[in-house]
Amino acid sequence: MRTSAFLYPWDVVGDPAAAERVAALGVQQVTLASAYHSTRALTPRHPGHRIVTAQYAAVLYPPDEQRWRGRVLRPHPAGAWAAGDAWAEAAGALAAAGLDVHTWVVLAHNSRLGAEHPDTSVVNAYGDRYPWAPCIAQPAVRGYLLELAAEAAARPGAGGAELESLGWYGLAHLHAHDKIGGIALGDAAQYLMSLCFCPHCREGYAAHGADPDGLAAAVRRALRGTWSEGAGQDGDPAQPTGEAAIAALLGDPASAAATLNWRREQSGSLQEQAVAAVRAAAAPGFQVLLHADPVAYRCGANAGVDPAHILGVADGLVLPCTGGPQARAAMLGPAAPHAREHTVLAANLTVVAGMGGSPGTLAEDAAHAVSLGATELRLYHAGLASDADLNLVRAALAAL
């Protein structure tokens, strides 16, 4: 089974042993970040540092000035954490160790974009902006994302790309020093708190038959009880989920349908256009995968998709499969029936024990994912894992 480990360029650059160490795990591929959001990351084996602070969303290569000349929305090159062409330097070392290298491109998740261009952000029903979440319905945002996808994905030497956050971002972001966990939000409440009410989305709701002002008021009414009582944790078996739960909480099925249709329309067309843009920029045979959730209305890094449609557009999906058999079934079950002859369904398994992963059960988890239709594995994240975690990964991959 083909297996790829996620890495950042700073895991490799400046560490002469890094590429061979990753190859020794038994993986065939590395998915190497080329455009990434702000983060603080551990580098437990690097000879020169232990903590890397990426202060803002950036591309980890020199952006093409000709491509971006005259554009208001444009990517920022990284600072000292990934100076120069860090992606190419890391990719070269990994390729020399016998590993295939694919790009890892984070798209609609960018706090610096929201800070510098507030009008590009999602605006909730209360008028609060989400600066980490660009509104993908806005033409300027969409143009920026498509250019970024093409440039960051088709890096020289890459054999494919994985596109993350290619869709709506919402409330559940894990923003810096997050303080929003005091009241539990279920699936439907998360959706309502993630609805955008910027001018473009208001027009979109109206085009689908909903009054934007009335809809925003209905969202606020629907959530009134949530702020005093909570709405149950997402994933709680007793908590209703799905489109029917959204309509029930909102109390207006027609308006709920208008929002779902508008958002599916926007995310679906963005996903189609991004895949086309990447293929146009890359050599023939370049693989394009999406990090995805098979429930179309979901928000976040694993953007909601319609598997029946998107698997006719992209080469496959990378699905979050950490969390036990039920979580794997929820991800792979809706996607597997729509797989085609060469479709990739990659089960993404966290192997960092300190981040909730289970490297000790990797072989069993992988076997279960395969039984549900997975064709490949993704391991999150070889650069963040401890030596003990990596030893367990090495043993599991040898067993597989």
Give residue for tokens 């508008």: 262
* CA distances, 2 to each of 167, 221, 292, 397 (Å): 27, 49, 19, 10
Determine the number of helices (DSSP H) and then strands (DSSP E) in the chain.
16, 14
Cα-Cα end-to-end distance for the chain? 8
CB 158 within 8 A of CB 105: no
On whether the pTM is more than 0.85, the answer is yes
For residue 163, with 0-12 CB atoms within 10 Å meaning exposed, 13-18 middle and 19 or more buried, which class applies? buried
Alpha helices in the chain (DSSP H): 9-12, 18-23, 65-68, 86-96, 111-116, 139-153, 187-194, 199-207, 212-222, 226-229, 243-250, 253-281, 307-310, 325-335, 362-371, 387-399
CB 155 within 8 A of CB 192: no
Q: Give tens-digit pLDDT for 290-349.
A: 999 999 999 999 999 999 999 999 999 999 999 999 999 999 999 999 999 999 999 999
Residues β-bridged to residue 346: 318, 376
User: 3-class SS at 47?
Assistant: coil
Instruction: Write down the pLDDT at residue 233.
Output: 52
Who contacts 146 (Cβ-Cβ below 8 Å, separation ≥6)? 270, 273, 274, 277
- Per-residue model confidence as pLDDT tens for the chain (400 residues): 899 999 999 999 999 999 999 999 999 999 999 999 999 999 999 999 999 999 999 999 999 999 999 999 999 999 999 999 999 999 999 999 999 999 999 999 999 999 999 999 999 999 999 999 999 999 999 999 999 999 999 999 999 999 999 999 999 877 677 877 888 889 999 999 999 999 999 999 999 999 999 999 999 999 999 888 765 555 454 566 899 999 999 999 999 999 999 999 999 999 999 999 999 999 999 999 999 999 999 999 999 999 999 999 999 999 999 999 999 999 999 999 999 999 999 999 999 999 999 999 999 999 999 999 999 999 999 999 999 999 999 999 999 9
User: 3-class SS at 341?
Assistant: coil
Instruction: List the one residue out of 275, 276, 287 whose CA is nearest residue 344.
Output: 287
Residues β-bridged to residue 39: 54
In the chain, what are the domains? 2-180+263-399 (3.20.20.80)
Q: What is the CA radius of gyration of the chain?
A: 21
